[in-house]
Amino acid sequence: MKRAFKYRFYPTDMQAAELLRTFGCVRKVYNLALAARTEAWVQRQERVNYNATSAMLTVWKKTEELAYLNEVSAVPLQQALRHLQTAFTGFFAKRAKYPRFKSRKKSRKSAEYTTSGFRFRDGRLTLAKMAEPLAVVWSRPLPEGAKPSTVTVSQDAAGRWFVSLLCEDPDVKPLSKAGAVVGVDAGLDHLLTLSTGEKVANPRHERRDRVRLAKAQRELARKARGDGANRAKARRKVARIHARISDRRRDVLHKVTTRLVRENQTLVIEDLAVRNMLKNGNLARAISDAAWREFRSMLEYKARWYGREVIAIDRWFPSSRLCSACGALREKMPLSVRTWMCHSCGTAHDRDVNAARNLRAAGLAVSACGAGVRPQRESSRAGQSAMKQEVLRRKP
């Protein structure tokens, strides 16, 4: 299994200048190729592939206007054309939107090198067009005998430099069968609530730095728009605070998802429509800070790594209103109700724990019936009825 290992590094002034020049050339080539492919399709209904754009790149390098493209390594430029080809493949397969032009200010600054564009020996990484190796902080060891197939260099909005090495990791392999099945209910009061009754606290990273962030944003707003040094300095200050928040959030999510995947064979979650939920002005900030979409993404790819199963239950399944003891369905339950008592059997429920238990039971029913991981929205009512009957049948 190939896995990317990301490290921070500190370039010299010459290396930073070379990399920034490479980022600009990568962006220029990508935009030129996108414009050429768009023009060919609009005017002649002609599809231009990677080979054609690669030939265009050779011609561009020979012109006086674009002669500076010869000053950087050719490998990242060719990789930019391959990335554009991948973007168009996704568009024509209706998996993605039409590719967009890269912006100097907003687009991610990165360059990808294949094996012909770098040298990795004895823990020292040297990129093409550079005489000295990068000063990489090896915060964790690479797999023994690792030979990177690609190296991606990037700079984030806070000005930090990162290098990502893609290589085979023999440690990524299916774990032994755990047998445990757990329901996971995502929330705001608690980040996660498990069907076992355990609750994972919500760190609320954004709230902890909200005052510092607001002050930095006010300072940025007072700076005149343009390319001035003062505005760039204020922008980097805001970006550093955002980076601090996202780093802490990602660290917590990695630890939680890794533990859940290692301890459980099957994990049942709810198929939340996070994009629609963010339209709620009162909860949008808290939902964004909880990062439910990132949590699900981590859980799914780690489950694929280690041979686990993730089941997503339809978002219309009434997990909070359904009694996990007797199956009685409550008609309404506002978000303000955190505990409730079933009128049929008298069982007292914690809202989140009850939802997690119902998700677990529904996941077992889905797995037993061979239903899809994501039930379709149009059949949600019929699916809820059938699922509810199966959940009740499986209760002791």
**pLDDT tens by residue, 155-200:** 999 999 999 999 999 888 999 988 899 999 999 999 999 999 999 9
One domain for residues 58 and 15: yes
One domain for residues 21 and 154: yes
Instruction: Examine the fold and report which residue of 168, 184, 210 is the final residue of a domain before the chain moves on.
Output: 168
Place 226 in a pLDDT band, splitting at 50, 70 and 90.
confident
123-151 pLDDT per residue, tens: 899 999 999 999 999 999 999 888 999 99
Instruction: Examine the fold and report which residue of 148, 168, 188 is the final residue of a domain before the chain moves on.
Output: 168
Residue for token pair 């859980």: 299
pLDDT (0 to 100) of residue 286: 93
One domain for residues 144 and 249: no
Given a contact cutoff of 8 angstroms between Cβ atoms, the answer to whether 19 and 153 are in contact is yes
Q: What's the average model confidence in pLDDT over 26-42?
A: 96
Instruction: Examine the fold and report which residue of 168, 190, 213 is the final residue of a domain before the chain moves on.
Output: 168
In a domain, 232, yes or no: no
36-50 pLDDT per residue, tens: 999 999 998 888 999
One domain for residues 320 and 377: yes
Q: At what angle are helices 13-44 and 74-92 packed, to 10 degrees?
A: 40
Place 334 in a pLDDT band, splitting at 50, 70 and 90.
confident
Look up 169 and say whether it is catalytic: no
Tell me the pairing of strands 2-9 and 181-186: unpaired
Place 370 in a pLDDT band, splitting at 50, 70 and 90.
low
One domain for residues 253 and 392: yes
273-302 pLDDT per residue, tens: 999 999 988 899 999 999 999 999 999 999
Residue 115 lies in domain: 2-168
One domain for residues 156 and 275: no
In a domain, 231, yes or no: no
pLDDT (0 to 100) of residue 384: 45
What is the C-alpha to C-alpha distance for residues 90 and 304, in angstroms, rounded to an integer? 22
One domain for residues 297 and 377: yes
One domain for residues 127 and 274: no
In a domain, 292, yes or no: yes
What is the C-alpha to C-alpha distance for residues 147 and 166, in angstroms, rounded to an integer? 8
Cβ neighbour number for residue 15 with a 10 Å cutoff: 21
Which of 18, 112, 206, 270 is catalytic? The answer is 270
Residue for token pair 């990177």: 148
In a domain, 22, yes or no: yes
What is the C-alpha to C-alpha distance for residues 194 and 183, in angstroms, rounded to an integer? 6
Closest CA to 270 of 206, 352, 334, 333: 352
93-127 pLDDT per residue, tens: 999 999 999 999 899 999 999 999 999 998 899 99
Tell me the pairing of strands 266-270 and 181-186: parallel
Which of 18, 185, 289, 314 is catalytic? The answer is 185
One domain for residues 182 and 162: no
343-367 pLDDT per residue, tens: 888 899 999 999 999 999 999 888 7
Report how many domains make up the chain.
2
What is the C-alpha to C-alpha distance for residues 310 and 182, in angstroms, rounded to an integer? 10
Look up 271 and say whether it is catalytic: no
Which of 18, 112, 206, 352 is catalytic? The answer is 352
In a domain, 211, yes or no: no
Cβ neighbour number for residue 388 with a 10 Å cutoff: 19
One domain for residues 257 and 291: yes
One domain for residues 21 and 155: yes
What is the C-alpha to C-alpha distance for residues 26 and 126, in angstroms, rounded to an integer? 19
One domain for residues 160 and 181: no
In a domain, 222, yes or no: no
In a domain, 209, yes or no: no
What is the C-alpha to C-alpha distance for residues 236 and 35, in angstroms, rounded to an integer? 31
In a domain, 223, yes or no: no
